[in-house]
Chain A
């Protein structure tokens, strides 16, 4: 129905045009119900979402917490073991090492993505169509499925001198490197792959942020005789502060929960040199069936992301005051 059709009945009080619809009692025409409908109407609209969130977010989260205090034995019944699982996790060398690897990877990837993403954004800011095409091309790694990224880089990282990246390294007289097959370089290799996929994402967000930096300040800086680098250092980067903190949180959380690329590139090897928390949890929980211990690890990982997010928010609020 169009608005024009409705308007006359809204203005005029002519009774025939506002007759109640069939089957509905006249009471429902009161002002209250016309505005708000019945009390359960919103819940009806929300029902599918609430059921799905309950089943696939809230119950799993509650289960993760209870399982972390239990010795989980499917079909046999769970046994309450207090904080034993947490003790097992926190005292095991494997978990500590995995936590360390995760932090190294998260810090490295986050820094790499932020720095490279900012550099790309600064280089490719502009309105020309040619730049737009280059930006889209540089953004492609973000939309490529992570499984494809991993398989592609596995091939490029081929450890002999004829491998794609090794032959490039050969041109500048270095290598061949074992990359993901060598415990000394495996972590850095995963990091590079992660940065390759993550930096263009940060670039896009930075570009959006660059658009909102006050142009007048650039003019003013120019008038004051500031060089290009000074302009970036004193005008652009301060203007991007909120973008930095958002990207930092996103990248750090992405880094802590890293799973697929490690699972596919090295699966924690060689010699456990790239074992991260999630690959360890996957092995404990789903391959060795030590579900309680795996759940405890997952809860700890969740707490880490929570603490990190809260810290950054507090830090931001203080910075803004």
Chain B
């Protein structure tokens, strides 16, 4: 083994049969524990699961009945609600973050430190703690007096205030070379043009990180939709799972079919954009 690929445990060094078997067994165990339950969910969604005791890893007679029943229960509408929230929520979040990031990274102005500290401080402010006052504010927005309770907009607008994305954009935009901007400025380009045509196109990796990370974060949201949704017409899919489960006429198989639909988008996004995701994860953790 050469030095660069050396690992802490040095497992790759084991060449004996016993060592190899032990390694294979360990990896199999890890897969069963962490991926097994998800596989059981996948199988259950396509099986006739009438009660929870029938959950198994072995498929028997695949059927789409669970999905059919789930759609009869309005799951398609909940899924569309979820996509609506994640689509517009992410759009708003990214737009707000790149604009703020441009000002914080490329400008020097009085009060910048205060703004930066105020935004950073909200990283330590879990939304759970704000739940009660937030629900009151959404019921009657100060100054404009809109009531967003019971609307999907109420789940979308608060997503715009997301410090992590602003932080990532600011850090990344700081590294775009000054010369490009100076040159454009001499040619008479305004700030909006410099932002849109020079800085933004160079920030694709950072946009990937905040996009992927924002998507999974919004898709995972539970408390905010719970505060805002008043009846089933504004439920997102994660919220609807509980209602489905409580309904005695709905079998666990149907709940699993709906759960599968609820987990697929974020799993697909993760698998496709794994690199951006892990990048965001580590940079987020090392900054937070």
B-contacting residues of A (Cβ < 8 Å)? 1, 3, 5-7, 9-10, 18, 20-21, 34-37, 39, 41-43, 45-46, 48-50, 52-53, 55-61, 63-64, 67, 74, 120, 122-128, 134, 136-141, 143-148, 151-156, 158, 160, 162-164, 196, 200-201, 204-205, 208, 210, 213, 215-216, 218-219, 228, 231-232, 235-236, 246-247, 249-250, 253, 257, 259-260, 263-264, 278, 281-282, 285-286, 291, 294-295, 298-299, 301-302, 305-306, 309
Contacts and interface: CB of A to CB of B under 8 A. Distances in A.
12 contacts: A43-B103, A45-B99, A45-B107, A56-B160, A59-B137, A151-B242, A151-B259, A155-B52, A196-B33, A295-B132, A298-B131, A306-B124
B51 to A, nearest CB: 8
Interface residues of B, number: 106
Contact of A122 (B8, B128, B129): B8
B129 A257 contact: yes
B35 A204 contact: no
Nearest to B283: A208
Nearest to A208: B282
Contacts of B27: 123-124, 134
Contacts, number: 312
Nearest to A309: B124
Contacts of B128: 257, 259, 278, 298, 301
B135 to A, nearest CB: 7
B278 interface: yes
B8 A63 contact: no
A5 B252 CA distance: 65
B73 interface: no
Interface residue SS majority, chain B: helix
A152 to B, nearest CB: 5
B141 interface: yes
A246 B286 contact: yes
Given A152-B37, A306-B124, A291 B136 contact: yes
